[in-house]
Structure 1
Amino acid sequence: MSDSLPSGPPSDPKPATATNSPDEATTTTTSSTTTTTSTPEGPIPPPVQIPLSWPADSSLTLDWIQNLISAFDWSSKNLSPSELPLVLPVPVFDTLVLTASKILHKEPNCVRIDDCNDNSRVVVVGDVHGQLHDVIFLLQDAGFPCEDRFFVFNGDYVDRGAWGLETFLLLLAWKVFLPQRVYLLRGNHESKYCTSVYGFEKEVLVKYGDKGKHVYRKCLGCFEGLPLASIIAGHVYTAHGGLFRSVSITPLKRSKGKKNRRITLNSETKPLCLGSLEELSKARRSVLDPPWEGLNLIPGDVLWSDPTMKSGLSPNTERGIGLLWGPDCTEDFLKKFQLKLIIRSHEGPDAREKRPGLGGMDVGYTIDHVVPSGKLITLFSAPDYPQFQATEDRFNNKGAYIVLKPPYFDVPEFHTFEAITPRPAVNAYYDYEDVIDSDEELDLASMVTAT
């Protein structure tokens, strides 16, 4: 396709629809790109003026975001991946990511959402893994973020799905537009190691070509700023993986001499016990990958840990990173911090298939622990997962999101949904047949090498 693209009307764009129309252009795959096949009536024009440009006054609007949704949806069905810069040029990408990064890096490790009122709703979303069309549907189904509708995303925006970049950028745009209503937490896949193994790095390089390394580096820098957890209305704790250990950090004496003086930290890991919200607030979240030690232990736990039905706190030997915690730990955490509910994500149907004693992920969520002080829920928002698995190996699972309502925002209202089909045809960006599952023990040496 030439650089000259047909233009649609610049005003009154319609949001992308949740289903495909019968006369939609079809696609065929060669290598890692898609080729558009025109309908008898000719190619489908873009629904908005493209390429997209950054607003002159640098203020995003709802119309601008709806244009972005429509443009991403259209390009996924009508352009090859390598033509994405014709829709979102690198300078616009740079400005969006820089603006969002400045907001994210200023947020604390655990964001507190306290300005809820009797009219507020809080929508919590689990893993979405680059499934752009399902994310568009979820946003439309739940209702777009607005003054009375908060969104908390629990991470894993990228990898495995074909549109991780578009998904992440769309959510960054919402963050810039409504920074006090949209909260983007970090998942374990927002890392250099995972994105180099599960497809996001290759996706970016294919889509932005000779500018791909630049785009990828900017995304990694933005990942560093994503907060680790949230507390909603003082009653609900959300994080991608979940709970974390207590870590003691003792400063040693300052070395003598004025030149190159530095304080060395001596990290002493206590016998495994639950960490505090104060410790979480002091953790260093800017490191994207191992070594998980010292100040990095808590972020590693928050991103990689899993619940179990066995009491106590123990190393997560199944993954090789993070912890396993039982119902007693859930009760202790809820009671100590006067919480009623924990909402975490991190486990899809593939992971739960290997976890005896815990529920599957057929409907997008499971209630894992019910204890005197409240509940622990796992939430997964990527339906028909994983996207590129061979047909007989797909789980045909539903996705889900949770709506929390007043007065206490601690009673989950579950909303399940099926995948938007058919998805545009595109090849995988990773070797899904041979790559190790992230819910199995990871190659830590390779993770360190990737940093």
Structure 2
Amino acid sequence: MDVSASTSDSSSTMIIPTDSAEAQPPPSPPPLDSLTTAINGSASSPFNSDEPPSSSSPPELQLPLSWPQDGKLTLDWIHNLMACFDWSSRNLPPSQFPSVLPVHVFDSLILIASKMLHKEPNCVPIDPFQSHSESGDTTAATVVVVGDVHGQLHDLLFLLRDAGYPAQNRIFVFNGDYVDRGAWGLEIFLLLLAWKVFMPHNMYLLRGNHESKYCTSVYGFEKEVLAKYGDKGKHAYRKCLGCFEGLPLASVIAGRVYTAHGGLFRSVTVTPSKRLKGKKNRKINLNPDIKTLSLGSLEELSKARRSVLDPPWEGSNLIPGDVLWSDPSKNPGLAPNKERGIGLLWGPDCTEDFLKKYKLKLIIRSHEGPDAREKRDGLDGMTEGYTIDHIVESGKLITLFSAPDYPQFQATEERYNNKGAYVVLEPPNFDNPIFHSFEAVTPRPKANPYYDYEEVIDSDEELDLASMVTA
């Protein structure tokens, strides 16, 4: 089947039966009426079933995707998007990506999603008790928290099926790092944006340190977008960067759980100088001294300028750098994160102080995969996809990593073989995390890396900060 020839005209729609021998599809999605039932939160939803839906009469893929005339996404549209991304990852070269999602559809999706994200605060309050359904019901939703996924599309598709899709009674919070290293970061980011547009109060997307210009230029996402959109690649990449700027930095779930990609952050003291004679405005000095590091507040976080994608972070904009790059430590206190060259290390006492001050019970952060954790003395490895790093009087600090068998491309024969994990928080208290570990989907479709993984460091340590400033 000559897909490239059949799909060159984006004004026409190609129907691909998913039961063809060539397509080799995953278990087919259930019909639309079952999808509607799932979104309304039925316990008998096929999304929650241990058995895959019947593939005796598989639906057809609608290619290329077109933007709805009324501009409103439907569950059927999103499910077709997931199936098309899965199918194309197994059957099409990257250069044929526009035959699946034409650039004008990409533009419509990312424009609407960007507007939504930019309107959200730096730290998003998530209220599982607040109903957004037409019925006005106020029953509480469960919350699923997800860590790094790093371009591993098929593992994310499994996670979504395993946890149950976003629904009126199920909220997702993603802790960032959607792109880089894996071969399908663009598909993942666009898929999650589609869910955000469709169910904005049931899908929350936070920023990771890899949602930056520097990281995406080093770890493959920029080259991935250029490969997939060709002469429109630079345009698409710029649009992605603009969307990254809008991603919130953190969330507080039900007033009980703080989530962020890296974690805690420093206080930045603003010192007004004396008003100069004849001047209407005072000079403001923002010069935090690392010798007097102190824990930052949620109020300071709310005022940070998150649109800065890369260092140098200065003044109050040190806070986004900390939130995205910092790591926990077994040693008490706050200290510069010398291993990474950016962000902070914070100890159990800081976790206790933060939890107690804001009456929280949990901190869920991500940022560290098995490659980073093997270099951290005193902290557990990432073999199960999560670790409990601090247990203090007020609660716990958890690191969550959702990319199994990571990274996709490794220079060594021996792999980490780590599991991925996600966390389920249930009402009414949301403070007893239920961990779900899972293996990687195998075999992965064959793909070429978009960065020189044999030369580029595996973890985010020892970053070339000079390159980050000039990138």
**Fold conserved (TM > 0.5)?**
yes
Pair 1:309 & 2:326 matched:
no
Write the distance in 1 (CA, Å) between the matches of 2:411 and 2:139: 46
Match for 1:429 among 432, 446, 450? Answer: 450
Write the distance in 1 (CA, Å) between the matches of 2:89 and 2:281: 51
What are the superposed Cα offsets for residues 196-229 of structure 1, whole Å, 9 maximum, x if unpaired? 0000000001111111000000000000000000
- When structure 1 is superposed on structure 2, of 268-277 and 76-85 the one drifting more is 268-277
Decide whether the 8 Å contact of 1:18 with 1:133 is kept in 2: no
- How far apart are residue 3 of structure 1 and its match? 2.9
Write the distance in 2 (CA, Å) between the matches of 1:282 and 1:145: 30
Unpaired stretches in structure 1, ≥5 consecutive residues:
20-44
What are the superposed Cα offsets for residues 53-85 of structure 1, whole Å, 9 maximum, x if unpaired? 001100111101001001100000010001000
Q: For the structure 1 residues 155 and 377, does the alpha-carbon distance in structure 2 shift closer, same or farther, using more than 3 Å as the test?
A: same
Match for 1:268 among 256, 262, 287? Answer: 287
What are the superposed Cα offsets for residues 388-433 of structure 1, whole Å, 9 maximum, x if unpaired? 1146232111000000001110110001111111111011100111
Write the distance in 1 (CA, Å) between the matches of 2:117 and 2:274: 33
Pair 1:17 & 2:8 matched:
no
Write the distance in 2 (CA, Å) between the matches of 1:277 and 1:192: 26
Which has the larger share of strand? 1
Write the distance in 2 (CA, Å) between the matches of 1:88 and 1:404: 34
Write the distance in 2 (CA, Å) between the matches of 1:253 and 1:112: 37
- Local SS of the residue matching 2:396: strand
Q: Which amino acid aligns with 2:64?
A: P
- State the partner residue of 1:246: 267
Decide whether the 8 Å contact of 1:7 with 1:46 is kept in 2: no
Decide whether the 8 Å contact of 1:229 with 1:238 is kept in 2: yes
Q: For the structure 1 residues 218 and 341, does the alpha-carbon distance in structure 2 shift closer, same or farther, using more than 3 Å as the test?
A: same
* Cα root mean square deviation, aligned: 2.2
- How far apart are residue 114 of structure 1 and its match? 1.7
Decide whether the 8 Å contact of 2:207 with 2:244 is kept in 1: yes
What are the superposed Cα offsets for residues 258-312 of structure 1, whole Å, 9 maximum, x if unpaired? 9xx9886420315101000000000010000001111210000000000010111
Aligned length: 419
Match for 1:214 among 235, 238, 243? Answer: 235
Q: Which amino acid aligns with 1:351?
A: A
- How far apart are residue 247 of structure 1 and its match? 0.2
Write the distance in 2 (CA, Å) between the matches of 1:438 and 1:444: 15
- State the partner residue of 1:37: none
Q: For the structure 1 residues 190 and 257, does the alpha-carbon distance in structure 2 shift closer, same or farther, using more than 3 Å as the test?
A: farther
- Local SS of the residue matching 2:63: coil
Decide whether the 8 Å contact of 1:3 with 1:86 is kept in 2: no
- How far apart are residue 440 of structure 1 and its match? 1.2
- Local SS of the residue matching 1:392: coil
- How far apart are residue 251 of structure 1 and its match? 5.3
Task: With the length of structure 1 as denominator, give the TM-score of the two structures.
Answer: 0.89
- State the partner residue of 1:233: 254
Match for 2:116 among 103, 128, 149? Answer: 103
Q: For the structure 1 residues 257 and 93, does the alpha-carbon distance in structure 2 shift closer, same or farther, using more than 3 Å as the test?
A: farther
Q: For the structure 1 residues 100 and 171, does the alpha-carbon distance in structure 2 shift closer, same or farther, using more than 3 Å as the test?
A: same
Q: Percent identity?
A: 76
Decide whether the 8 Å contact of 1:118 with 1:407 is kept in 2: no
What are the superposed Cα offsets for residues 234-260 of structure 1, whole Å, 9 maximum, x if unpaired? 0000000000000023456899999xx
Unpaired stretches in structure 2, ≥5 consecutive residues:
8-12, 19-24, 29-57, 130-137
Q: For the structure 1 residues 252 and 48, does the alpha-carbon distance in structure 2 shift closer, same or farther, using more than 3 Å as the test?
A: farther
- How far apart are residue 102 of structure 1 and its match? 0.2
- How far apart are residue 4 of structure 1 and its match? 1.1
- Local SS of the residue matching 1:416: strand
- How far apart are residue 120 of structure 1 and its match? 1.2
Decide whether the 8 Å contact of 1:118 with 1:406 is kept in 2: no
- State the partner residue of 2:217: 196
- State the partner residue of 2:5: 3
Higher relative contact order (CA 8 A, sep 6+): 1
Match for 2:353 among 309, 332, 336? Answer: 332
- How far apart are residue 106 of structure 1 and its match? 0.3
